Amino acid sequence: MLLLSFPAGRFGTNCYVLAAEPGGPCLIVDPGQAATAPLLRLLAEHRLDPAVVLLTHGHMDHSWCARELCADIGVPVLVHAADRFMLADPAAPLPASFPGHLLAGYPETEPERLTLLEGSADLEQAGLRVRAHHSPGHTAGSTMFRVDPVRDGDPSLLFTGDTLLADRLGDTGLPGGSQARLESSLRHICGPLDDNTMLLPGHGPAAALGAARRALPLLRSPAV
C-alpha cells in the first residue's frame, strides 16, 4: 500500500492519503485546515485518483477542507450522521471560551456530496477493504477506519482520529464527549486486533498497537 501523510494547518491535524498502489484510486482521511494545496500536489505526484474523503469526526480541524475538495474534484465525503451538524456550524461543538478568530475562513456549509454513516459498516473504497468502526467518546459520531492489508505480511491500518493517540486516550472534555463511551469503544474495537496493527492518529506520531498497549493498559482489556 501507498500511505502518505502531513500535518495540516495551525492545528497540526494529520491528513492521510492511502492507495493500494501509485497511479490508482485513493482514500483521503481528515483534510484539515489548509490541506487542499498539499493534497493536490501529492495526488499529482503519485498519479492518484481520489475516491472518497473519510472523516474520523466532525471537528473543524479534521473537516476544514472537505467541502472544498468535494467541490473542486467531485469527491464524496463520508462522516457519521451524529457529527453532521458540525460541518455547517463548526462552533456548535466547541466551548464558549474557544477563540472565535480560529474559525475564520471555515466554510460554514456542508459538502454537496455527503454520505452519512449510521453505525459501523464494511466499505469497499478505492480497491481497499475498509471497516468503519463507530467509536463514540471523543464525539458522538467519532469513527475509526480499519483498512485490511493488500499484501501478505503488511499490517492492518487503523485511522483513529482523536479517539486514540499514540500514547494516550483521546480527549473527552468537549461538549458531546464521554470518557465511559470512549473507553468502551476502545475495548471493543482494539481488543481483537493484532499487536502489529498500525495506529494512525489525528495528531502526533503513528504507533504499533502493541506499543500503545504497553503504555495504555485499557487497550489490553477484553471487550465485555
Closest to 222 in 3D by CA, of 186, 170, 168, 172: 186
Predicted local distance difference test score (pLDDT) of residue 222: 59
For 190-199, the pLDDT digits (tens) are 999 999 999 9
Instruction: Read off the pLDDT band of 223 (50, 70, 90).
Output: low
For 150-159, the pLDDT digits (tens) are 888 889 999 9
Instruction: Read off the pLDDT band of 220 (50, 70, 90).
Output: confident
What is the gyration radius of the CA atoms in the chain, in angstroms? Answer: 16
For 42-72, the pLDDT digits (tens) are 999 999 999 999 999 999 999 999 999 999 9
Burial of 1 (0-12, 13-18, 19+ CB in 10 A): middle
